[in-house]
Structure 1
């Protein structure tokens, strides 16, 4: 079989390869995925090899003899969970290497070994985990790669990559106290997924001043997902460019960075620490606003300039301190609102605030199709003022477990398309 070019030994159960394998003088592709082979030294004799895949094998150390595979184009060592060593002066000898995959390998990288990767002039795809961020060579990320999935720091077990991100071509993850400077990160080409984790040893919070240059380069260009997380405190900021969605969880809103998301369409706030949101820029494209369990937030007034295109408003907080939800002037700006849902807020007595003026006022929710008010223990009415409300598009009205609500509003009410109301009083 000297002319054999492709050999697939998937799941091979023996601990060593047959000595006769070096007779395959023309072998170009060798697959030993999920094999039990421990000694791969003989593979170094297959000098015509172009593709070598050892995914999920039990290899413990990469043999020095592999440096003889100077024609190798692809080397896949993904998820070799016992592989802890990579000898010096081996990687640099694989001069034709284009694709190099080492994700899921607990390799204890040294500076010299990582520096060799920069010498691979034809390398276009790279996947690897670097736990010790102190061994990174300077300008390690300066190399132009078409495809990469690189994590720097203790990511492998703490922050496993999400399944919905795997298909992206260019992923970079690093911890905020790593030796990777933000200047270097900004120099990385065409990153699609950028994840930054706060180290448990780092006392500082998200630094807007330091992060701003990174946002200038990345947001609204090639970046599909940006995520900052503090796993210990369960704090998270995530931007998804395809849906134009920003999620902020269990932290203060970084107003300075928020200004970079000028085309934001969906904003999700979970347990934010702000009592009020000052300096919030005009979110002209905002269509969906979710405010969930933000117990300290006292008002949504700062959002009012961003409501002209809002289509969905969802407010939910089990024991929140929200005192003001919608003023009459804010209500008039909700011209595009199609759905409003207010749930589990103990302090609300009304949805649209009565400002105490004696004059009547006409308030029209032109496009509101669904209004849901549930589990509002102290809600008395939609509005206590003598205002005239018109809901020309309202078709679904749900009032559930609002025991103190006796009337919708004392003023006039127009709902030409509303034929059924779902009402349940009991808590």
Structure 2
């Protein structure tokens, strides 16, 4: 349903009535490109939608309520918007206030700032070719993401940071650990200006204890993925795939602040698949001296990463890894990854030298 001047879908009559309004068979409701729409109905009647299972709302920036009265939707689980899926298990009425979902002042999003972007009801973030500004999740919403399960972002060229982490310099506050407890899947593609998934600092640490899949493709400004302080929180991470990111140098970045000296072993206990391809600036998985334990790693792919010299500078344990898939074919892991990479580099250099000698003769 479209209309530039439409403010309501159902208009309130002059004679007020307290009768309940029922849409007995309505299953799908789509509202799109309604710049003046303030609500479905602004009167005080109660609404019942016994069959409603799909609600899609897109480009309705002035929508701040659905109905003023009670609105019951027993089959509706979420609302689909251009920002993502919003939980609506309690019906179509909005209980959260706009203040709870204010975006960062620097973000300048084009997506609605109203109640449809309530972060504490957010199930999924799904953004395709939308301008959301520089940040998707503002700092003041980090503690409201208990329901968030999935993030998919494609083609947002102004985005610089997925989670805004503010540096609280000059304060005496201790370090804050923020968990995103139910986030399981993150997919980022064609986000050209993305510099950080989350910018680490000494005041705030983000943890993702249930993240299982992370896929990053064509994010040319990204230089690293995780920081040393939060990588041990990734206890459920199983699949990590990074491709076609020309400036990525490492997966795990060492921080300027010294980490706890007692923590000298980095574990990714469930990581099964690690695929790295078309990363011309990639130097290694981590260039710190900590030991790495990857006890479940079965698939390791390293292709078109011409700058790599070591996998890690510390010891790396991969008891289940049998072969590495490289641009030159599969290589059996007889000792460890670092030794294999060194051998492979020597083989490549020897091959190039032989070609040069052959051409010279």
- TM-score category, normalised to shorter length: 0.5 to 0.7
Mapped contact 1:324–1:353 kept (Cα < 8 A):
yes
**Cα distance in 2, alignment partners of residues 354 and 220 from structure 1:** 49
Alignment length (residue pairs): 260
**Cα distance in 2, alignment partners of residues 326 and 376 from structure 1:** 16
**Cα distance in 1, alignment partners of residues 43 and 299 from structure 2:** 49
Which structure ranks higher in relative contact order (CA pairs < 8 Å, sequence separation ≥ 6)?
Answer: 2
**Cα distance in 1, alignment partners of residues 38 and 255 from structure 2:** 54
Residue 158 of structure 1 corresponds to none
Tell me by how many angstroms 1:299 deviates. Answer: 1.4
Tell me by how many angstroms 1:278 deviates. Answer: 2.0
**Structure-1-length-normalised TM-score:** 0.51
**Cα distance in 2, alignment partners of residues 279 and 290 from structure 1:** 20
Mapped contact 1:381–1:407 kept (Cα < 8 A):
yes
Mapped contact 1:147–1:170 kept (Cα < 8 A):
no
**Structure-2-length-normalised TM-score:** 0.60
User: Counting strand residues as a fraction of each chain, which structure ranks higher?
Assistant: 2
Q: 1:312 aligns with which of 213, 225, 241?
A: 213
**Cα distance in 2, alignment partners of residues 366 and 396 from structure 1:** 14
Calculate the aligned-residue CA RMSD, in Å. Answer: 4.0
Structure 1, unmatched stretches of 5+, are: 1-128, 149-168, 200-205, 229-235
Of the structure 1 ranges 309-318 and 355-364, higher mean CA displacement relative to structure 2 is found in: 355-364
Mapped contact 2:2–2:34 kept (Cα < 8 A):
no
Q: 1:416 aligns with which of 305, 319, 331?
A: 319
Mapped contact 1:395–1:419 kept (Cα < 8 A):
yes
- Higher Rg: 1
Of the structure 1 ranges 182-191 and 386-395, higher mean CA displacement relative to structure 2 is found in: 182-191
Residue 251 of structure 1 corresponds to 131
Output aligned runs, 1:18-417, within 5 Å: 134=6, 137-139=10-12, 143-148=21-26, 169-179=27-37, 181=39, 184=42, 188-190=47-49, 191-198=52-59, 206=61, 211=64, 222-228=75-81, 236-239=82-85, 244-249=123-128, 250-252=130-132, 253=136, 255=138, 262-272=146-156, 273-276=158-161, 277-278=163-164, 282-301=179-198, 305-318=206-219, 320-355=220-255, 361-417=264-320
Spell out, residue by residue over 1:117-172, the C-alpha distance to the aligned partner (whole angstroms, 9 max, x if none).
xxxxxxxxxxxx676865955149x7311222xxxxxxxxxxxxxxxxxxxx2423
Tell me by how many angstroms 1:198 deviates. Answer: 2.5
Residue 32 of structure 1 corresponds to none
Tell me by how many angstroms 1:324 deviates. Answer: 3.5
